[in-house]
Amino acid sequence: MEELKTDEKLSSQEYWDHVLENARLPRVNNRKSYHYRVTMDFIDAYIRDKPYNSFFEVGCGSSGWLPYFANEYGLKVSGIDYSEIGCKLAEENLRILNISYGEIICKDLFEDDCTHGKKYDIVFSYGVIEHFDKPEEIIRIFSSFLNPGGIMITLVPNLNGFMGWLSRRFVPGIYKMHRVMNKKQLQGYHETNFLKNLSTNYAGTFSLAVIPLVRSKHWLFKEGSMRRKVVLFCFNFFDKITSRLFRMLRINIPTKRFSPYIISIVEKNI
């Protein structure tokens, strides 16, 4: 498999090691968090009561998704990540939760035969392909891990509209690590690789949780300052209130301007 050039990767291993090393265990994603719940609701109908057995997460470092899919759907979970720190945390998390798993592969996904020829019924990625300059090439690699008749679930943050504006203003360095895409483009990256589109759309109504404001270098977030504490509290409080309202009122209005995510579910032809 041809290795990607350095300038085609929009983020570094050092960055992800730093992000992942701060994960607290045990970690299981659940519906209490609105930004997770909208993802779970979107994909549930395509997995529940379907004859899938194996699950593979690309970018599984310290993952809370592995235990979720194992517990919720009885899937045998595995994953790959190039961060050694992230892989150790993912394995430790599964052990703490007493979840049987396949394997956590600590390799760069661009290495030849990085899965040792193993293929899976579901290939899942949560915020991965947008960190590369050519997402369609990343999808092609993901497809090689997929069994015929299996499905691929690809989630990216929706950095169009308001979310993109906030990211550019408060975390411009992190924003530059992302390839901004819309629904049509995400669907196209999959269809270019001969994957059948089952559903591609914006997901969720609104959530600030997708923007890592705690890493902002903006003067409002000056480390150690009182205004940092106040601003972060206000952002988090607003996000919690809106999330509760959406849940209580069962509001789900996906839009390009405000939805936190874009999700694509595709099938590999038999």
The CATH number that applies at residue 34 is 3.40.50.150
Q: Classify residue 59: in a domain, yes or no.
A: yes
Q: Classify residue 230: in a domain, yes or no.
A: no
- pLDDT at residue 6, rounded to an integer: 38
Q: What is the DSSP string of 230-251?
A: HHHHHHHHHHHHHHHHHHHTT-
Q: Classify residue 176: in a domain, yes or no.
A: yes
Crossing angle of the two packed helices 65-73 and 84-96, in degrees rounded to 10: 40
- pLDDT at residue 17, rounded to an integer: 57
Give 12-59 pLDDT, tens digit per residue.
Answer: 667 655 556 667 889 999 998 999 999 999 999 999 999 999 999 999
What SS3 state is found at 132? strand
Residues of the chain with confidence (pLDDT) below 50: 1-7
Give 99-120 pLDDT, tens digit per residue.
Answer: 999 999 999 988 988 998 999 9
Q: Classify residue 15: in a domain, yes or no.
A: yes
Number of structural domains, the chain? 1
Name the residue range of residue 152's domain: 6-212+253-268
Peptide bond into 51 cis (omega under 30): no
- pLDDT at residue 15, rounded to an integer: 60
- pLDDT at residue 256, rounded to an integer: 96
Q: Classify residue 188: in a domain, yes or no.
A: yes
- pLDDT at residue 13, rounded to an integer: 61
Residue 246 neighbours by CB under 8 Å, 6+ apart: 34, 205, 206, 252
Q: Classify residue 218: in a domain, yes or no.
A: no
Torsion of CA 106, 11, 196, 148, to 10 degrees: -10
CA 128, 54, 90, 261 dihedral sign is positive
Q: Classify residue 117: in a domain, yes or no.
A: yes
- pLDDT at residue 1, rounded to an integer: 42
What SS3 state is found at 44? helix
Residue 115 neighbours by CB under 8 Å, 6+ apart: 56, 80, 105, 145
Q: What's the pTM value of the predicted model, to 2 decimals?
A: 0.92
Q: Classify residue 234: in a domain, yes or no.
A: no
